[in-house]
Amino acid sequence: MIAHLSGKLISKQPNQVIVDVNGVGYEVHVPLSTFYEVGEIGSPVQLRIYTHVREDTIALFGFKSEKEKLMFEQVTSISGIGPKLGITILSGMPVDELVAAIRQSNLARLTSIPGIGKKTAERLVVELRDKLAKTAPTGEQTSAQSVSQPQEDVISALVNLGYAKPSAERAVQMVVSTSKTEPAFEELLRTALRQLSR
């Protein structure tokens, strides 16, 4: 079983990347959180891998953090939730928010994820609430990307407004990565808020 890939990123699109490992390209399904963090095409990348084997196919699912991979395994252990839906769930919100929603039986939050209906949300709560209470995730791993002072200030402001820090960091990185020059504080905050409200 493949458990880890380390190579060069040769293609990326939401929910899928291709990693070149010594001349062999591995197609890996990823959640949006990992898509945002893998860097630009041509950059080195390391992914934790979950190998899904069926009679007719072998599929690889990749994650930047061990916490995401463990959550994916927990979610897909539930009857009726396969790997593709597992990736959709992890794309819908950061792991810490997902854990909090399950532990608080917050069905409204869970059903806000595309593809998750009330019955699936109820299954997530019933089957994972007690397990997650015992294995609450540790603090978010720090991103390898350097963060400037204005970015730090905007992230702090977003957290003060009630957004989870991982979501705030991701929104700011998205804005910065799509801007030719780094926006000033107010512009960065306004654009990051727009990103978060989508």
Mean pLDDT of 20-28: 95
Residue written as tokens 């709560």? 125
Band of residue 141 on the pLDDT scale cut at 50, 70, 90:
very low
What residue numbers bound the domain in which 21 lies?
Answer: 4-63
Element (H, E) at 70: helix 66-76
**Are 127 and 92 found together in one domain?**
yes
* Range of weakest confidence among 19-23, 80-84, 138-142, 154-158: 138-142
Contact 196, 168 (CB under 8 A): yes
Whichever domain contains 43, its CATH number is 2.40.50.140
Residue 20 sits at the vertex; the CA angle it makes with 17 and 23, to the nearest 5 degrees, is: 150
Whichever domain contains 115, its CATH number is 1.10.150.20
**Are 127 and 154 found together in one domain?**
no
Residue 145 has pLDDT above 70, yes or no: no
